[in-house]
Amino acid sequence: MRASVAPMRVPPRRSVGTQRDRNAPGRGAVVRMCPVCHLTYHEGEERCLVDGADLEEVEDERIGTVLGGRYVLEEVLGEGGMATVYRARHNLVDRPCAVKILHPELSKDATLRERLRREARSAAAISHPNVVEIYDFGETPSGEPYLVMELLDGVSLRALVGEPMALDQVVDLGTQIAAGLARAHDLGVVHRDLKPENVFVVQSDEGPLVKLVDFGLAYARRESRLTATGQIVGTPPYMAPERFKTADVTAAADLYALGILLYEMAAGRLPFDSNNVAGFVLAHLEDVPPRLEGVPAGLADLVADLLKKKPEERPVDAHQVAQRLSRLRAGRQKTELKITTRRSLPRVLVTLDRWVGRIPVYEELLRRAYPDGAPAELEEHLAEMRAALARLRTLRNVAMEAQRELEELEAETVATRERLGHAVHVLAVDLSASRAAAKRLADSMSELEDAAAEHAVDWRTADAQLARLREPGGTPGEAEVHAARRAQAALEAWHDSAVGLAERAGRLRAAEDRERDLSFQVEALRKRLERVEAEFDEEAEASRGRLADNGVERRKLEMRIVWLASKVSAPLRDRPELRSLFDRIEAA
């Protein structure tokens, strides 16, 4: 058996997806940024007009822009087929976050726009430690939908599955994946695209923490489907057999994908291998996966159960999977996982506080440069800077108040989500136990039915041997005596089986009644949570709108201040006696 404790491999980070060619058709003009103050410039400028630093070219024209009046885009984290993900910062509360923006060429597709909206709603409603947290959703000024989520600092599971992982790592991460799926399924959300790229592993105080991401293909039972009939949406190596037969996808499909993940984590390879989609389809539909070797029987059995071809033969739900994995984890030493924290970028420095500190320096700059009085135009520029800063201060206070209102509403909604989520979890665990009990009873009844049928055949066979005794003058011989004994034994066994079937049928009805009752309660909580989400969206919309409008005006004022500062600085920057003042401006 493989040793249970081994160092976890943490490869260097790589951007998700492929980088877009900067010269590709449709890409905007090259953007340059000041490395000191983070102001952005387009082609034609070589130095920052404020602090004189040489500009650096950035790969994406969105860098430095502000979305929703609050989210400043700082760098590209990764790019996929549907969207680009940026590292960003909430400029009112100084909180790092990630912003996912749908590609412009896809933004006109109503289906894809709805898919991103669904990802925001699905993940936000789940509210679970093992599911990425969604903060906000909106549209860029040019109409591309975006969502704002927690910034995950770690690696995807894809980076860890190139070779067999240590057993404790497989069990620990697998338990967390199952827990995240359990909460999603409890709320009626099926992920539909569970794969290593959509499982992120980050470092927490308690150790490795799994975050399920990309619910863009998720299907909630309350919502209409987005795929056309016959269209396959997902990743073939991880898709359950029924995904290729019907559009009616259930939580069991996610469990099958989890089985593939556990197999790949434990073995370092997929259970099925193919170089084309058709090969994977046939393998999922027809081939029996090889049994995992070199792992405890409990893990091999669980993976085999998860990879059953028929959904009803898999574990009843993700709660049961998490419980079985937890039993394997008990008493095992955990592997330490160290993930290097991504370098924190400097804050965007075009802020109110920075410019308030610069004004006295600009005043001194004009006094030194023009002892007899500065030109009227420069004095007017400086006066306008003061007025703009006063207006900017007022706008920021208004924005902070709107942000506080929104945060209070968010905190109340999060608390309600957590309370309802906990209630759903408690009921769902009981529901899982009821389902498992009902399944065990149904399986045992099937065995009893088979046994009863065998006893009936035995009785009829023995009874047929006694047929001649019913004829006139028939007398029993040794064979008839043995046949009578066999008939009696078969009849008693048949009777016992019938009694057992009746007793278990009653227990099964009781279990099914309890399952229906628990399902009703869970569904009621789901609907209540849906109402909470709808009410939050409605109430938050006004605050978001005010913040967005406020942010647009603040951004215009900031750019105006920069322009005014450049006009004041330009004629004076090359004077050596003023160098110390410009150094103070840059350091402010």
If you search the block for the tokens 């967390």, which residue do you land on?
176
If you search the block for the tokens 């006893």, which residue do you land on?
455
What are the helix and strand counts (H, E) for the chain?
10, 15
Please say if 168 is a catalytic residue. no
Catalytic residue among 51, 136, 168, 193: 193
Q: Which of 181, 325, 209, 196 lies closest to 268 in space, CA to CA?
A: 196
The upper half-sphere exposure of residue 567, i.e. CA atoms within 13 Å in the direction of its Cβ, equals 17
- CA 516, 518, 519, 525 dihedral sign is positive
In angstroms, the CA 461 to CA 484 distance is: 11
Would you tell me the crossing angle of helices 318-329 and 167-186 to the nearest 10 degrees?
160
CB 180 within 8 A of CB 212: yes
Strand order in the sheet with 207-212: 154-156, 199-204, 207-212
CB 318 within 8 A of CB 255: yes
CA 343 vs CA 62, 179, 346, 349, 522: distances in Å: 21, 30, 9, 17, 43
CB 32 within 8 A of CB 40: yes
Q: Classify each residue of 166-189 as buried b or exposed e, where b means 16 or more C-beta atoms within 10 Å of its C-beta.
A: bbbbbbbbbbbbbbbbbbbbbbbb
Q: Which of 97, 202, 101, 105 lies closest to 154 in space, CA to CA?
A: 202
Distance linking the first and last C-alpha atoms of the chain: 62
- Three-class SS state of 137: strand
* Count of positions (residues) in the chain: 588
Catalytically active residues, by annotation: 193
